[in-house]
Amino acid sequence: MYNKINTLGSLLLTSVSAFAQQAGQVQGSEQSPQQVVVNGSQTDIEASQDFVAGKVIIGRKQIEQSGLQNVTEILKRDPVITLGKDGRISLLGLPGYTQILLDGRAPMGKSPLELDLSQVDKIEIIKSTTAETGPFGIAGTINVISRKIERKIQQQLNLGVTETRGEYGANGTWRMNQFSPESLWSFSLSANARHNRSPGNGADDQQLLTSLGMQPQFQASRHTLRRDEFSTLTTELAYQFGAGNTLSFKPDYGQITLDQTKTEQRHWVNDRLQQAWQRSTSPLSGYNLPLSWTYDSGDFGQIDTSLRLSQMQNISDSLRIDQDSANPNGANYALRRQHYRDDQSNTIWSFNYSNSISDGHNIKSGLQWTHSRHETRRVYWLNDVVDTSLIWLGGQSQNVEKKYRIFVQDDWRVNKTLALNAGLSMEDQTLNMLEEGMRNQARFRVWSPSAHLSKKLAADQKRQFRLSLARSFRAPDSSQLMLQPAINPFAPCFTNTGCGNNTIDTADSAGNPGLQPERALALNLSYEHGLSRDSQISIDVYSRQIDRKIGSELLLMPVSWAPSPRYVQRPANLGDASIQGVSLNWRVAVTDIWSASPKLDLRGSVGWAHSVMSNLPAQDNHLEGQLPWRAKLGLSYVMANLPVKIDLDANWLPADWLRNNLTQRTYESRQRSLSANAIWTVNPRMRLVMNMDNLFAPEAYTIREYFTDSTTLQTRNKNSAYTRVGIRMELKL
């Protein structure tokens, strides 16, 4: 099957290229050299229409008008973004297959999704794989572009507070830009701080299903309180040698502290009582030292090169008290402590070159080299004594990773209505792992060709078809490749002689050094119908054929930390998978349809998808996150007589069962979410913003079933949800 798909893909890539060459020969006498120019007066929709590989742009103007705080919040609002039941954002309902980049590179340390919007210039959403963005965007790529230094004097201050079920938080951002017209130097400084407290509550029950009927096992209650403290300081110093020739140094430092308290009680039907209390604190700190140089030589092209050094450290301490009235060893009380230290350093050098040449070609090429070192140290205590039973879990580990990536890409404007984007990227990765004297190496090299065709209708430049075909990949990360076993906290070791047995629902976890990258053939076909500068309707049809799909397997196997076999869950290549889907997206200003209407904008999407994995039973067989349908609806309304703008956003996801592997399946209840925000522009320099997330806060239900030869173990979970309310003041100083 996969060989047939590969052959079809090669034929399509060849035919697209041949078609473009023929069109170029026919139109060659009529055209002049062209390139994509994003005009500052363009709207985001107009700017997106100029890119061959379907792209959605969220520009600075839209960011400022949104009244939202971070990247995640504004992405949730966009019609092409899908929101999972776990809160993760993605494209095509595939969070694990959506590549997230920061300034075109894999992020180091800080997550682009957590960036305050005052630090973001624009966000690009690419619906397919391109050579420029690399080979790892099977579902597509989200590229967050940070704000660059500006040669103007400005200051901005944002202050806010939040409340979630009686728990309060605060946040603040300050940004300053300075320069002198007589000087070639520019300077900017940005500081961001956030404190947040999030409560959580849940209830569980478990039953054993046999041929004799249902046998109740236990009932449980869970309570959590999480405290996040986040602070960053970013500065940039730039020297402009001349027009298009700039040297920039942009260091930043960040610190995140996660403090979490958990309590859980399990009351068994045989009067057994299990109780667990845990408190963990995890401070993470890191810095980046990027030095970049951009040079525009005019006719000879543009050069962009950078060197980035980064260092991160994460220290985690946890204290856990376990009580079990039915412990077979007689000790029903255990005090556990764990110390975890993680140090990581990265060096990244990149060089990019682009130039527009004759016949409408815009050539881009690049080279990137990455070297990463990651060291981890762990110490375990049981009742204030070093826990020797866990020595095989690895007290110290180290991995060294080297990556090389090259790409070349051609954006060819064949004529005013036809454009082609074709490219090739290659990445070579080598990961050397050392875990307690055991050495493993994982190495792979991937080649990713891609081709994109855009055909505008001659009668209306706002209407166009797009066709994309690409070979793309998903690489396993180091946490999946390293063994790094972890003991399930509800099947712990109560003595230093080793762990006892566990059950299928309390499996330990481990990595798998033998994992191979997933590879996929991606096909996208879309039609965009522009109504005006700010209105567009599009329909997308897509297909993904995935080989060596990474999932999880749940096995009863011998382990080094117990004298008898234990259940272990680990990642594995499960086989082939296929995905087909269609989505309808719209952004419509109602005044484009009815000139006398209020200033009302509508946005939304409706999607349908079908996926299947070849090596799993047919019932409930689909990819995680790939629901049969999903829907989003949003609106923006500007009051006629007041300087107030109101936004509402709703999201619907159906209930579904998912077959995780041969021995496990999961049910998740339907999810409906509603958020609202209002912006009051007090004066040109001040505005007030009120946000309400997760209105009505419906509870979520999950069912997990584990299968053995003759029984089914079923656990039902109920998780409470709460509305978050925030108020923020934005000042231009």
Q: Please write the tens of the pLDDT for every residue from 657-710.
A: 999 888 899 999 999 999 999 999 999 999 999 999 999 878 899 999 999 888
Burial class of 536 by CB neighbour count within 10 A (0 to 12, 13 to 18, 19+): buried
Enter the tokens of residue 260: 């979490």
Query: Residue 126's pLDDT is what?
Result: 94
Enter the tokens of residue 387: 């826990």
Q: Considering the entire predicted model, what is its pTM?
A: 0.89
Residues 106-131 have pLDDT tens digits of 887 778 998 899 889 999 999 999 99
| Closest residue by Cα to residue 730 from 672, 680, 669 | 680
**Beta-bridge partner residues of 672:** 652
**What is the SS3 assignment for 502-523?**
CCHHHCEECCCCCCCCEEEEEE
Tell me how far apart the alpha carbons of residues 670 and 672 are, in angstroms, rounded to a whole number: 7
Domain count, the chain: 1
Q: Looking at this protein, which amino acid is placed at residue 122?
A: K
Number of H helices and number of E strands within the chain? 5, 35
Q: Which residue range(s) make up the domain with 647?
A: 2-732
Residues 328-378 have pLDDT tens digits of 555 567 788 889 899 999 999 999 999 998 888 999 999 999 999 999 888
Output phi, psi for 569, to 5 deg: -110, 130
What mean pLDDT value characterizes the chain?
A: 87
Query: Residue 25's pLDDT is what?
Result: 38
Tell me how far apart the alpha carbons of residues 169 and 195 are, in angstroms, rounded to a whole number: 5
Q: How many other C-beta atoms are found inside a 10 Å radius of the C-beta of residue 725? A: 15
Residues 231-280 have pLDDT tens digits of 999 999 999 887 788 999 999 999 999 999 999 999 999 998 989 999 99
Query: Residue 21's pLDDT is what?
Result: 39
Higher pLDDT, 577 or 211: 577
Query: Residue 3's pLDDT is what?
Result: 44
Query: Residue 23's pLDDT is what?
Result: 37
Say whether pLDDT at 284 is over 70: yes
Query: Residue 382's pLDDT is what?
Result: 81
Q: How many other C-beta atoms are found inside a 10 Å radius of the C-beta of residue 514? A: 12
Higher pLDDT, 648 or 574: 648
Residue written as token pair 């109740």: 216
Query: Residue 718's pLDDT is what?
Result: 94
CATH number at residue 452: 2.40.170.20
Query: Residue 18's pLDDT is what?
Result: 36
CB 659 within 8 A of CB 665: yes
Most confident of 43-57, 238-252, 443-457: 443-457
Query: Residue 365's pLDDT is what?
Result: 96
Output phi, psi for 192, to 5 deg: -140, 135
